[in-house]
Amino acid sequence: MTDLVVELNNVRREYQTGEVPTVALAGVSLKVERGEFVAIVGPSGSGKSTLMNLIGCLDRPTAGSVKISGKDISTLDDNELTALRSKAIGFVFQQFQLLPLTSAVDNVATPLLYQGLRPAEARRRAAAMLSRLGLGDRLDFDRGRLSGGQQQRVAISRALVTNPDLVLADEPTGALDTSSGAAVMDVFKEMNAEGRTIVLITHDLEVAAAANRRIYIRDGLIERDEADSLAGAR
């Protein structure tokens, strides 16, 4: 098993808009090791969303290579890419993306069902994960009966329940008030302390400060890559 969960080498991503290509990433190289907590920080239009889509196996580079858990995504067909995304990555979104009129436990069990687990085992694992995140008394609540912070913890539980190599979080506190956002960031820090690899996409410097390493991106290029002293130089 490789210690590199994410490896990008001179990645370029262009989009064709009419006759003129738009360059979203202009040659980005980075590595994320197993167990790191990394924040990718940048303003709107910086290229961080494009970078997230590549790391999340939702897109492919125009040039360069993207490897997730040692697999070069450019060499995979659509089915193989879907399988890699399902197995290796747990997603957490700003707007939670919970299924409507569906209980918390069934929302969390859904990715396990896609992986072929029996419903009873999937619900058991989902209930255990929700309980770990403080929602053991909310298993049968649908999203309409949960606060924003609780909904995001359900989403985090769903991302973690498959034991992915990487948790990829896109502006995970963007729809929350300050108190709920801080509580969610505490969950990420606890999960990272247990060895989870987390890549967080944000424009918020206060949110990024929770990570052990921060990669600043602007105009499709990495401006700087800084790590806390305890995390070591990278």
Rounded-to-integer distance, Cα 66 and Cα 81, Å: 12
The structure tokens listed for 145 are 């009966």
In a structure prediction context, what are the per-residue pLDDT tens digits for the chain, which is 234 residues long? 569 999 999 999 999 877 888 999 999 999 999 999 999 999 999 999 999 999 999 999 999 999 999 999 999 999 999 999 999 999 998 888 999 999 999 999 999 999 899 999 999 999 999 999 999 999 999 999 999 999 999 999 999 999 999 999 999 999 899 999 999 999 999 999 999 999 999 999 999 999 999 999 999 999 999 988 654 433
Answer for the pair 22, 39: CB distance below 8 angstroms, yes or no: no
Record the pTM.
0.90
Of 3.90.470.10, 3.40.1080.10, 3.40.50.300, 3.40.50.10790, the CATH number of 4-227 is: 3.40.50.300
Answer for the pair 120, 141: CB distance below 8 angstroms, yes or no: no
